[in-house]
Amino acid sequence: MQITFQFRLYPTPEQEQQMNRTLDLCRKLYNQAKEQRETAYNQEGKTITYAMQQNDLPALKKEFPAYKEVHSQVLQDCLQRLDDAYQRFFRGEAGYPHYKSADRYVSFTYPQPGAVQKTFAKEGTVYLPKIGVVKMNVHRPFDRVSVTQINVKRYGERWMINISVKVPNTEVMQAVESAVGIDVGLSSFAALSDETKVDNPRYLRKAEKRLRRAQRRLSRKQRNSRNRQKAKRKVAKTHQKVARQRKDFLHKQSYRIVQGHDLIAVEQLKVRNMVRNRRLAKSISDAGWRKFITYLSYKAERHGKRFVQVPAHGTSQTCLCGADVPKTLAVRVHECKRCGLIQDRDVVSAKIILQRALKISA
């Protein structure tokens, strides 16, 4: 099992310049590698693989000495990203890979950090090859010996580091004293089988007014001007604040649920298909259902709790007694004519999810 710790970096002006230089060179390599693949396929019908492009790196460094400023593993990871993008496209999981602009390529990765003693030479610092020893705000302890990957990412004017750490799997608890089913929604973020509800914060909706103003100002600025760059940073900051608020909310709610229950049951949602509904896409993305389920999953595994996903079919159209109770999204109250149950539809769905999970677990 791997978990990721995120800390903020405080590079010196020289280090920040080198980090930006690394991003720029990696972006150029990514675009060159993509162009090479397309040219070879369109003109010769030949497929260029990751291994072929990786083997060409030494010759590329001789032809373009600037690439010697970037660590070799960072360049290899750049080519691996492109290959992964093509593989996802061939599997039908994503669209066709695009060329990366300076605003779209914002991170680089050390897939093998090397000697940990050198990487974390001092408390509160990290050694990045070709960049140097950079200060970082270590607000949580982590096992430095088990570090498997280091990713450096630029968020506007901030630099963050994502440290992946391998931790042993916790044995799942055999006794289940408390179980809960969770039905995610839009009117309320989540309804639990114990009849409690979590309000939907709607961070993006609340920030839309500020975003509209910032984007209007951006659209009026002259292209390639400094004022446009400033306006672009303001738009990015607003989006980053929304993302951080949502992430903080999801982490707190998932931690609270995992700490209070031994078995957590959710639906198997296909969010990618659900966001195709143009009327609900923005609200679904703002809620962050996929991240919430991911956080529940790894937190449950980390704390030795059971996490069960059940098929989503029929959870909102059936009753606890098994009767079919069809209803549209506009109908918010569940009324069963067979057993006479009258209750909030989301709470009933959460109870059905728990009911199915207990059968699977048994």
* 248 and 308, same domain (yes or no): yes
Q: By mean pLDDT, which of 43-47, 188-192, 205-209, 314-318 is the weakest? A: 314-318
Catalytic residues: 183, 267, 346
> 229 lies in a domain?
no
Choosing from 142, 166, 190, the residue where a domain stops is 166
Confidence of residue 276 (pLDDT cuts 50, 70, 90): confident
* 257 and 162, same domain (yes or no): no
Which pLDDT value is given to residue 115? 59
> 218 lies in a domain?
no
Which pLDDT value is given to residue 116? 58
Q: Which residues of 257-288 are buried (b: 16+ CB within 10 A; e: fewer)?
A: bbeebbbbbbbeeeeeeebeeeeeeebbebbb
Average pLDDT, the chain: 90
> 213 lies in a domain?
no
* 339 and 191, same domain (yes or no): yes
> 173 lies in a domain?
no
Q: What percent of the chain has pLDDT over 90?
A: 62
* 286 and 156, same domain (yes or no): no
For residue 126, give its domain range. Answer: 2-166
Confidence of residue 36 (pLDDT cuts 50, 70, 90): very high
Task: Measure the CA–CA gap between 260 and 241, rounded to whole angstroms.
Answer: 29
* 148 and 272, same domain (yes or no): no
Count of domains observed in the chain: 2
The domain that holds 298 is classified in CATH as: 3.30.420
* 148 and 246, same domain (yes or no): no
Highest mean pLDDT among 74-83, 268-277, 350-359: 74-83
Q: What is the pLDDT of residues 90-141, one digit of tens each?
A: 998 889 999 999 889 999 999 987 655 567 767 889 999 999 999 999 988 8
> 45 lies in a domain?
yes
* 191 and 273, same domain (yes or no): yes
Three-state SS sequence of 59-123: HHHHHCHHHHHCCHHHHHHHHHHHHHHHHHHHCCCCCCCCCCCCCCCCEEEECCCCCHHHHCCCC
* 13 and 141, same domain (yes or no): yes
User: What DSSP element (H or E) covers 132?
Assistant: strand 132-137
* 308 and 342, same domain (yes or no): yes
Choosing from 166, 189, 219, the residue where a domain stops is 166
Task: Measure the CA–CA gap between 133 and 12, rounded to whole angstroms.
Answer: 10
* 184 and 141, same domain (yes or no): no
Confidence of residue 255 (pLDDT cuts 50, 70, 90): very high
| Contact by Cβ (8 Å): 88, 117 | no
> 149 lies in a domain?
yes
* 192 and 131, same domain (yes or no): no
> 171 lies in a domain?
no
What is the DSSP secondary structure assignment for residue 144, as one 8-state letter? Answer: G
Residue at 164: amino acid letter: S
Which pLDDT value is given to residue 173? 59
Task: Measure the CA–CA gap between 321 and 18, rounded to whole angstroms.
Answer: 64
> 22 lies in a domain?
yes
* 78 and 106, same domain (yes or no): yes
Q: Is the pLDDT of residue 172 over 70?
A: no
Coil, strand or helix at 20? helix
Confidence of residue 324 (pLDDT cuts 50, 70, 90): confident
Choosing from 121, 141, 166, the residue where a domain stops is 166
